[in-house]
Structure 1
Amino acid sequence: MALPIKGEPACSLKLDPMNGHLSLVTAYESPEPDVVKLKNVTCRVISADSGSLAEITVRVEDSLLGSYGLLATIADELQLSRLPLAAAVSVAVNRHRNVFASRSTLTTEKEVGLLGELLFLEFLIHTIGAGPAVTSWQGPISEEHDFTFDSVHIEVKTTSGERRKHLLHGLEQLVPLRGVPLSLLSIQLTRTSPEGGRTLPQTIANLRKITFGHQVTVDSLLERLGWHQDDADLYSTPWTFRSQPRAYAVTGNFPAMTPDLVRPVVPNFGLLSEVSYKVDLTDLEYDSLPDPLGGFVQPNDR
């Protein structure tokens, strides 16, 4: 089915419901529109009695209105703004780019990392209240540890592996701040059945419900960490604790790389950048956290 669009140059919309395509057909002119990098848009030249025609086709998928809007904008730019074909397509694509942007999820590493922080935040809300808990969460804010309290700062590290192997980013991550003791909170998660655990979106939904008036702050922090509510359906994996979390005091016997330790042994230390390293804490003696935080971790009975 072809529907003419009144105006000059002549344009028509072609509907192909069987294949889920919507096309704009108009007179071809060089240079050809550059759509090669667009996932759902193609352009081809077809021959007609009146000369060469350009057929710009959009694979509709779940966005009929967005697809129609793109082609209608191209027609407007051709007929009203009198732009050349290639320019009209470029203007329309830039205006409607969000329609064709592919959705993506956090990597599994980042997913479990965020989930670990949220599980600890959830514990804190039930333990010390929503206001103090949300205030203590500093993870998305640069140059701070994940959670800060007067008595201790906490850096949360989460893994889905069988051993407590954690990736540290930078030489500053395990440096205590303002003289406050620092602990690394090691969390192990594992995939499970829907009945045995929760997905990341389910955990976030519960957090938003129990934070009440602090929900706006939580949403802002989640966005900084790469969470987008529109992509919630892409996270379908239920997670649960593989083991009880453990806390490790970052003191003299903790395997941390810090500027004070590395600077004396690395020539031209100031030229180092983007240092990352892994630590395996599985067999390291663990510690406790001060009350009331200690209820989240495995107690040390020594």
Structure 2
Amino acid sequence: MNRDASSTSEQSEDARHLSVANVDVVWESGTPVVLPIAGTPACRLDIHPANRTITLITSFTPPEPDVARWRNIAFKPVSSDEGDLAELTVTVEGNVRGAYGLLTSVADELQLRGQPFAFAVATSVASHRDLFAGKAALSTEKELGLFGELLVLEYLIEKLGAALAVESWQGPRSEEHDFVLDDVHLEVKTTSGELRRHMMHGLTQLVPVRGVPLSLVSFQLTRSSQGGGSTLGQLVSRVRAQADGYRAKVDAGLEAMGWSDADVELYATFWTERTEPRAFDVDERFPALTAARLAAAIPNFTAVSNLAYSVDLTHFRSNSLPGSLADLVVVDQEPS
């Protein structure tokens, strides 16, 4: 396309929509407004300042656009007297011009370029990427870590009651171990690998404190079908329901772990246990890197920082947990 043709196209697109000044006027009026956009397929904008939303409504043809990983953008298919409609809604956080620009860009892709709906949305979102930064989902490693801790919390609520169980969950809130009970502390590790290999961080994670025994509880998870497992969001909902009056403390722990309800759709993987969980006593035989051990072997070990290492427990014989925690894990049989 030559420069003159490009200029003409840009001018025609500009003429189809409000100027930025008029966008501000409409928004600041506070009055809901419906703005038709001339062309085929039919498009209209529902501007609702009180709700802080702008919605593009147009005809819908599958597939659905993939907007789950973007903040402040939501899609909903709607059946109406007009047929199957698509509602693409942007929640405005201070930049009404940007929100308006994104939705009019989708309309231009549909009406001027004849693009399919899902492609029009993807193209327009890409061009407005800075405005709608992606949601910050937990990494898979952190998702698994939270999943494992919630499995333990769910078990403890059943065995010990919500009060004691929730109070014992220290992982998100302190430098101590994940669960702190009178007779044992638990450090929970979770992997999706075929080997029982776990990452350790720092010099204090595997150090018993106050003379209380420390056990590492190891989970191996694997991806599952919908009927055979749970998503992280489903597990969060279960634990919240079981926590009853202690839900506020559970929510504080979830927040500290990086969980956000707004991102729940990002955790679509169904997880189930690959093997039964096992526990390992963290004692003098356990391969832990600690300050005391490093001091004996490495000159000037205090210069070491940001220590991370993996421990493969696949072939280690597991141990039991005390009292009411015994059923949480299985214990490997002694060789005959």
TM-score normalised over the length of structure 2: 0.65
| 1:191-240 residue CA offsets vs partner (Å, 9 max, x unmatched) | 11110010000000111111111111101110110100001011111111
Residue of 86, 92, 96 corresponding to 1:70: 96
| Aligned-residue offset at 1:65 | 5.0
Paired position in structure 1 for 2:168: 136
The code of the aligned residue for 1:290 comes to P
The code of the aligned residue for 1:296 comes to L
Paired position in structure 2 for 1:154: 186
| Residue 252 (str. 1) matches residue 267 (str. 2) | no
Counterparts in 2 of 1:197-236, with a 5 A limit? 197-236=229-268
Q: Distance in 2 between matches of 1:20 and 1:263?
A: 70
Percent identity, aligned pairs only, is 46
Paired position in structure 2 for 1:2: 17
Pick closer, same or farther for the CA change 1:220–1:192 going to 2, 3 Å.
same
Q: Distance in 1 between matches of 2:170 and 2:143?
A: 18
Paired position in structure 1 for 2:209: 177
CA contact (8 A) 1:174 1:250 kept: yes
Paired position in structure 1 for 2:53: none
Paired position in structure 2 for 1:273: 305
Q: Distance in 1 between matches of 2:295 and 2:262?
A: 45
Q: Distance in 2 between matches of 1:216 and 1:125?
A: 15
Residue of 134, 139, 161 corresponding to 1:107: 139
More helix by share: 2
Paired position in structure 1 for 2:62: none
The code of the aligned residue for 2:266 comes to L
CA contact (8 A) 1:187 1:244 kept: yes
Unmatched tracts of structure 1, length 5 or more: 23-38, 41-60, 75-96
| Aligned-residue offset at 1:102 | 1.6
Q: Distance in 1 between matches of 2:130 and 2:242?
A: 32
Paired position in structure 2 for 1:263: 295
Unmatched tracts of structure 2, length 5 or more: 1-15, 27-34, 46-69, 72-86, 101-128
CA contact (8 A) 1:185 1:245 kept: yes
| Residue 163 (str. 1) matches residue 188 (str. 2) | no
| Residue 242 (str. 1) matches residue 242 (str. 2) | no
The code of the aligned residue for 2:178 comes to D
| Aligned-residue offset at 1:6 | 7.0
Matched residue SS, 1:100 = coil
The code of the aligned residue for 1:2 comes to H
| Aligned-residue offset at 1:64 | 3.6
The code of the aligned residue for 2:179 comes to F
Q: Distance in 2 between matches of 1:292 and 1:268?
A: 43
Q: Distance in 1 between matches of 2:326 and 2:264?
A: 32
Pick closer, same or farther for the CA change 1:4–1:239 going to 2, 3 Å.
closer
How many residue pairs match? The answer is: 243
| Aligned-residue offset at 1:3 | 3.5
Pick closer, same or farther for the CA change 1:157–1:19 going to 2, 3 Å.
farther
Q: Distance in 2 between matches of 1:209 and 1:98?
A: 37
| 1:220-266 residue CA offsets vs partner (Å, 9 max, x unmatched) | 11011010000101111111111111110001111111100001211
Paired position in structure 2 for 1:295: 327
The code of the aligned residue for 1:129 comes to G
CA-based RMSD of the aligned residues comes to 3.4
